[in-house]
Amino acid sequence: MAKKDLVKIDNNVVKFGYWWRANRDTLAPWWPEVASQVFNCAFDNLGHASANFLKSLSGKRQGGPVGFPKFKPRAAAKAFAFSTITIPDAHGVKLPRIGRVHTLRNVERLVAGRATKTTTIRCEAGRWYASILCETPTPTPPVNTKPEVWVVFGLDEYIALSDGTRLTNPRPYRHALADLRKASRDLSRKTPGSVRYLDQQRKVARIHKRVKALRDNALHAASKRLAEHYGVIHVQRIHLARGMRHHVLAQPLADAAFAEFTRQLAYKTARTGAIVHMHEPMTVEQHVDAMALAQRLANGPSPDA
């Protein structure tokens, strides 16, 4: 792709909002029924996606290659965003063009008087959720004088620490696989688009939602424990991309979500003052030796020693 084409793409993204305002009456006569903030947030997402695409082409973006922005499929989760909302009471949010929506949780206590930036409304498993992004001042982390520890990932033992602590792998997807297979078979027998098909589709989505909730709960508990009890944490990376290409290891690796664990550990240690050192991935032999060492540390010294 030539450089002039990159400039053309960038200019089109910047001017897309003006183009939309000039052609919205013809293309979408229903636009007055939707709040303008929804369109503005969509333009922002398009701008970020295009910027990532251009940086990926020029080699300025780390990670794998990023494709050209495309529309979400119809089966994707329904989501839209507002830039400004109001909180009329403890259990309610007031959205533009929609009005007051009752919430199960106390929004006033969660927001705690902080300025709100963006509110994302999404539908998952037949239920609607509101995610409110607030401006929070970054606290100064305390001086952490807690002990140092090495972290080794595994599939049987989820996390093995150098002090002998072992965290088991919850395997939420594997435990829910039987129910998920049965629900998916029942879904395949329904006529697409029928009422029973939609009901069964929500049942399948609820199983996936529960798996995600169990996995997130285990990850948050493990990352919080490490961030609060240790001052220096050495994490040994693993070859996730290589393992995901293996037909046997792909499912348990995806179920373990090691990348999400390291992401949570990074921002939680920033609050507690702990330091995280990420080390290069080990080979299979080194990983086996590290797990054996962690097993010996957990069992204690041998009687012959």
* Confidence at residue 7, expressed as pLDDT on a 0 to 100 scale: 46
Greatest C-alpha distance within the chain: 85
Q: Which region among 25-29, 44-48, 263-267 has the lowest average model confidence (pLDDT)? A: 44-48
11 pLDDT above the threshold of 60: no
Q: Which residues of 75-98 are buried (b: 16+ CB within 10 A; e: fewer)?
A: eeeeebbbbebebeeeeebebeee
Query: Mean per-residue pLDDT for 13-21?
Result: 74
H/E stretch holding 124: strand 116-124
286 confidence band (pLDDT: 50, 70, 90): low
Identify whether the C-beta of residue 103 lies closer than 8 Å to the C-beta of residue 118. no
* Packing angle, helices 258-272 and 195-229, rounded to 10: 40
pLDDT above 60 (res 293): no
Q: What is the pLDDT of residue 106?
A: 92
pLDDT digits (tens, 9 = 90+) for 163-219: 888 888 889 999 999 999 999 999 999 999 899 999 999 999 999 999 999 999 999
Give me the residue spans of the domains in the chain. 3-58, 78-134, 148-299
Task: Kindly report the average pLDDT of the chain as a whole number.
Answer: 83
**The predicted structure's pLDDT at residue 283:** 52
Q: Can you give the pLDDT at residue 218?
A: 92
